[in-house]
Structure 1
Amino acid sequence: MTEPTGPSTARMIDFWLGGSDHFPVDVAAARAFEQAYGPCAPVFRSLRAFLGRAVRHIADAGVDGFLVFGAGVPTRGNVHEVVPDASVLYTDVDPVAVRIGQEMLAGRERVGYGFGDATDPGSVDAGLRKRFLPGWDDRPVGVVFLGLAAFLDDDTLARTLDELYEAVAPGSRLAIDFDTEELAGYPQALAMMGPAFRMRPPESFAGLLGRWQPTGDGIVPVARWRPDGTPEQVPDAFYGAVAVKPAG
Structure 2
Amino acid sequence: MTETPSTARMIDYWLGGRHHFPVDVAAAKAFEGAYGPCAVIFRSLRDFSGRMVTHLVTQGIQNFLVFGAGVPTQGNVHEVATGAHVLYTDIDPVTIALGQEILAGHGRAAYAFGDATDPDGIDPAAIATFLPGWGREPIGVVFLGLAAFLDDPTLARTLDQLYRAVPAGSMLAFDFDGEELAGHPAALAMMGEGFHMRDPAGFPALLGSWRLTADGIVPVARWRPDGDPADVPDAFYGGLALK
Is TM-score (shorter-chain normalized) higher than 0.5?
A: yes
Matched, 1:101 2:99: yes
Match of 2:87 in 1: 89
Structure 1 counterpart of 2:209, from 208, 211, 231: 211
Structure 2 counterpart of 1:230, from 219, 228, 232: 228
Match of 1:195 in 2: 193
For 1:218 and 1:202, how far apart are their aligned partners in 2? 10
TM alignment of 1:148-187, pairs within 5 A: 148-187=146-185
Cα distance, 1:135 vs. partner? 2.8
Task: Provide structure 1 residue ranges, at least 5 long, that are not aligned to the other structure.
Answer: none
Q: How many residues are treated as equivalent by the alignment?
A: 243
Give the conservation status (yes or no) of the 8 Å contact 2:117–2:158.
Answer: yes
What is the one-letter code of the residue matched to 2:22?
A: P
For 2:72 and 2:121, how far apart are their aligned partners in 1? 20
Secondary structure of 1:139's match? coil
Match of 2:112 in 1: 114
Q: Deviations over 1:182-211 (max 9, x none)?
A: 000101100100110001111111111111
Match of 2:238 in 1: 240
Structure 1 counterpart of 2:8, from 4, 7, 10: 10
For 1:240 and 1:77, how far apart are their aligned partners in 2? 18
For 2:69 and 2:200, how far apart are their aligned partners in 1? 24
Secondary structure of 1:231's match? coil
For 1:174 and 1:67, how far apart are their aligned partners in 2? 10
For 1:178 and 1:73, how far apart are their aligned partners in 2? 19
Query: Taking structure 2 as the reference length, what is the TM-score of the superposition?
Result: 0.99
What is the one-letter code of the residue matched to 2:51?
A: R
What is the one-letter code of the residue matched to 1:212?
A: W
Cα distance, 1:107 vs. partner? 0.5
Give the conservation status (yes or no) of the 8 Å contact 2:63–2:133.
Answer: no
Q: Deviations over 1:146-175 (max 9, x none)?
A: 000011000000000000000000000000
What is the one-letter code of the residue matched to 1:198?
A: H
Match of 2:60 in 1: 62
Cα distance, 1:178 vs. partner? 1.1
What is the one-letter code of the residue matched to 2:198?
A: R
Secondary structure of 2:172's match? strand
Cα distance, 1:106 vs. partner? 0.3
Match of 2:78 in 1: 80
Query: Taking structure 1 as the reference length, what is the TM-score of the superposition?
Result: 0.97
Match of 1:51 in 2: 49
What is the one-letter code of the residue matched to 2:154?
A: T
Q: Where in structure 1 do 4 or more consecutive aligned residues deviate above 4 Å?
A: none
Cα distance, 1:215 vs. partner? 1.1
